[in-house]
Structure 1
Amino acid sequence: MTTEIPPTVGVLLAGGLARRMGGGDKPMRTIGGRTILERVIARLKPQCDGLILNANGEPLRFSAFGLTVVADDVPGYPGPLAGILAALDWTATNRPGIKWVLSAAGDCPFLPRDLVARLHAARAADNAQLAVAASGEQSHPVIGLWRVALRDELRQALVVEDIRKIDRWTARYPLATVTWPMEPLDPFFNANTVEDIAEAERLAALDERSAQ
């Protein structure tokens, strides 16, 4: 990482229930001979000062990936904000010198290689507390940059105020939004359904060609 980018822990959010795929772990599905999670790790590892995985249930199912698995500590599967909170708490305890966490969906295999750099640049330029990614006309609040110091405020919002939507929470703070182009492919394409896996196979070939 360059000196201009603050040290940043990355958390891969894989705590969802994958109902649209009939259950199971979406990041474990295979695209082009590699799991989606392998692809996400390969994109983010060079950009972050360590990666952790947010997932609920038996952590040993992810043991082959060599990542620390951190479960939600807010009951009831309240959604990605709980995974972000778990990552902020883990970072505060285990990496106390790090002030920033990047979150990314564990089912987005084509994440930008400049994700962390651009989010930090926009946050600094806008003097924002948080930064999120977008492509086209769509914001992707699950993919964002979070200040560790806000973890107590996030816990209050989740546990006491029962806030579940990321947009509702981020609206309280100065927020930077960074938009990526959707050509040659949307870098935030996510595999939500069985049909998406087939489309991801096509995009993976396109992505490999564009990187050459």
Structure 2
Amino acid sequence: MKQPLAIILAGGLATRMGGGDKGLLPLGEGTLLSHVIDRIAPQVAGLALNANGDPARFAALGLPVLPDPVGGFVGPLAGVLAGLDWAAGQGAETVVSVAADTPFFPCDLVPRLMMAAQGMQVPLALAATPDGRQPTFGLWPVALRDDLRAALQDGLRKVVLWTDQHDARTAQFDAQGDPFFNVNTPEDLARAQAILEGAA
């Protein structure tokens, strides 16, 4: 399997943070998004950002900014589809998705997802912890992008409903703490800062 591309999912509305772009909130010496980029970039062949609205606000990142190809803020699967459409244009076979608000995900996320999907004709795998699957962290095949588009247009929103239809596998992560801890509230952001400083 060729090295995948990555799509960072930043298309949500961030209602619990008062709106705006969660990924641009400060964390340490950077932003939530800069920490996500630093983690995923070494693991993939290239990356893009899924976000809606004016792409100019992300210009400093130097990444392609891809809006949802399906209107109405239908959730993370729309961002995955944006990544798959972009990857198809790059000649890639797979895309890995990561969330823009999850700064401490595993540094071996991509190899573990690829290992889980080994031998599958259409490689599809989600990250999982003992608490369950992590639907915004997955390996997605370009070959299924039209199937996903049709499912979204038919009203499908739940990631695991679609992945179960295609016999997705899971890559299990049992690290100490919560490797997929994500920032939804100002309290979460303070906790992330504490984790970064080694105080949590």
Provide Cα deviations, 1:13-44, integer angstroms capped at 9, x if missing partner.
00000000000111111112210100000000
Residue 192 of structure 1: aligned partner: 184
Is 1:128–1:175's contact at 8 Å kept on the other side of the alignment?
A: no
**SS at structure 2 position matched to 1:124:** coil
Alignment pair present for 1:40 and 2:21: no
Residue 139 of structure 1: aligned partner: 133
In structure 2, C-alpha distance between the alignment counterparts of 1:175 and 1:70, rounded to whole Å: 25
**SS at structure 2 position matched to 1:10:** strand
Alignment pair present for 1:166 and 2:146: no
**SS at structure 2 position matched to 1:38:** helix
Is 1:36–1:106's contact at 8 Å kept on the other side of the alignment?
A: yes
Is 2:122–2:141's contact at 8 Å kept on the other side of the alignment?
A: no
Is 1:107–1:191's contact at 8 Å kept on the other side of the alignment?
A: yes
CA RMSD of aligned residues (A): 1.7
Identical residues among aligned pairs (%): 48
Contiguous gaps of at least 5 residues in structure 2: none
Q: How many residues align?
A: 200
Residue 102 of structure 2: aligned partner: 108
Which amino acid in structure 1 is aligned with residue 161 of structure 2?
Answer: R
Matches within 5 A, 1:5-20: 6-20=2-16
Alignment pair present for 1:73 and 2:72: no
Is 1:130–1:144's contact at 8 Å kept on the other side of the alignment?
A: yes
1:122 is aligned, of 95, 116, 124, to 116
Residue 151 of structure 1: aligned partner: 145
The TM-score, its normalising length taken from structure 1, stands at: 0.90
**SS at structure 1 position matched to 2:118:** helix
Structure 1 segments (4+ residues) deviating >2 Å: 125-129
**SS at structure 1 position matched to 2:11:** coil
Contiguous gaps of at least 5 residues in structure 1: 208-212
In structure 1, C-alpha distance between the alignment counterparts of 2:83 and 2:122, rounded to whole Å: 20
The TM-score, its normalising length taken from structure 2, stands at: 0.95
